[in-house]
Each structure stands twice: as C-alpha cells, then as structure tokens.
Amino acid sequence: MVDIISIEKPGQHEFKIDFNSIQKIVFDLNCSGVRLDITSKQKITNSNLSVKLEVNHYQPDTHSKIIVKNVLKASRLELIGKISLPPGVVGSTTDFRCDSLLTDLGSAVKTVPAMNIGENKVKASHGVAVAQFNQEHVFYLMSRGLSKKQAENLLVRSFLR
C-alpha cells in the first residue's frame, strides 16, 4: 500500500503519521512556498515494521521538516527515508530527524536517511540518534520514590513530547 500525497497549495502543511499503520508514504511538493511538517511519534511494541518515507521537492522555495521519534519494545523497525532536491529547487530546505529509544535487548532499528541533492542553493541536513534509557535519569526518578517501570514510562513520555 502506497500513499502519495501531492501538495499543490503554498503555506504550512502539517502531517502526523504513525508507522504502525503505513508501509510507504510519498510527499510531492509541487508548489513554491510550501512548508511541510511531518511528525511521527510512536511506540512500537511486539512488531516488525518496514517503512519507506519519501519527500520530493519539485519546486523552488519548498521546505520540509521531518521529525521521527520511536520507542521500541521487542520490535524491529526499518526506516528508509529518501529526500530529493533536484536541480532548480533554489532556496529549498529540508531537515530530517530520527531518534529511536530502544527499551530492551530484543529490539533493533535500521535507519537509512538518504538524500539526493542536485542544487547548491539549498540547505539540507539530517540527524539520526539511537539510545537507551539514561540510567542516571532512571536512578534519579527512582530515588524520588518512583518504581523502575514508572520512571521508564515517564522518560518515554518526555522522549515522545
């Protein structure tokens, strides 16, 4: 199943997507002045997911910002991101963030934030981070009387905020 979303009107466009329910999603930015914000924050439990996310900038002055946050528990996630800025899309910008929190040893994450850039008057960046619970944070919360589980739940909530 592939969702193709074509954006034809300038201005702010916000999308919230959940990796638990999609396999491939494509955003085509067909109009100058588009600001696309994609946020995807999810807990993934007991699943094996493979997601493709594509953003194609087809016009100058198009902007995309993608924030992905995953909390994995007994799960595997493969995320292939593909962002293209072909020649001519002057003044466009893109930023792709993908942070994953692995809560147990059985989880694994594979991220490929690919970019194809053929225009120099653009700004493009991506960042990927993979981490586990900060043991000092867990310890601090537990010293305040929270159980380990409560402490971890609180940290998951703050991570997904």
Partner 1 sequence: MSVKEQARIVGAEELSRLIGISQRVVKKISLAKGEPDWLLRFRLEALGFFSKMPLPDWGADLSRLTLSRIVSYLKTTPGSVRAWDQVPKSIRTTFERLGVPEAERKFLAGVGAQFESESVYQRLNEDLVNQGVTFCSLDEAVKLYPQVVKDYLGTIVSSSDNKFAALNSALWSGGSFVYVPDDVEVELPVQAYFRINSKNFGQFERTLIIAEPRARVHYIEGCTAPTYSEQSIHAAVVEVVAKESSKIRYTTIQNWSNNVYNLVTKRALAQKGSTVEWIDGNIGSMVTMKYPCVILAGKGARADILSLAVAGQGQEQDAGAKVIHLAPNTSANIVSKSISRDGGIATYRGLVKVEKEALGSKVSVNCDALLLDNYSKANTWPDIQVKNNRTSLAHEATVGQIDSDKIFYLMSRGISEIEAISLIVNGFIDDFSKELPMEYAVELNRLIQLEMEGSVG
- 42 is a contact residue toward partner 1 (CB under 8 A): no
The binder of partner 1 chosen from 12, 45, 47, 116 (CB under 8 A): 116
Figure out which of the listed residues 128, 146, 154, 160 binds partner 1, where binding follows CB under 8 A.
Answer: 128
- Tell me whether residue 25 is exposed, middle or buried, using C-beta atoms within 10 angstroms of its C-beta: 0 to 12, 13 to 18, 19 or more: buried
- Tell me the C-alpha distance between 94 and 83, whole Å: 8
Per CB under 8 A, the list member of 113, 141, 152, 155 interacting with partner 1 is 113
Q: Supply the minimum distance, in Å, between the C-beta of residue 9 and partner 1.
A: 26
Binding partner 1 (rule: CB under 8 A), the pick from 104, 147, 148, 153 is 104
Choice between 21 and 120, CB closer to partner 1: 120
Q: Does 127 bind partner 1 (CB under 8 A)?
A: yes
Contact with partner 1 (CB under 8 A) among 16, 121, 148, 157:
121
Determine, following the binding rule CB under 8 A, whether residue 148 of this chain makes contact with partner 1.
no
Q: How far apart are CA 88 and CA 38, in angstroms?
A: 23
Q: Which SS3 state, helix, strand or coil, does residue 160 take? A: helix
Residue whose C-alpha is closest to residue 57's, from 37, 34, 80: 34
Give Cα 93 distance to the centre of its chain: 16
3-state helix, strand, coil in the chain (%, to 5): 15, 55, 30
Chain residues that interact with partner 1, rule: CB under 8 A: 87-88, 90, 100, 102-105, 107-132
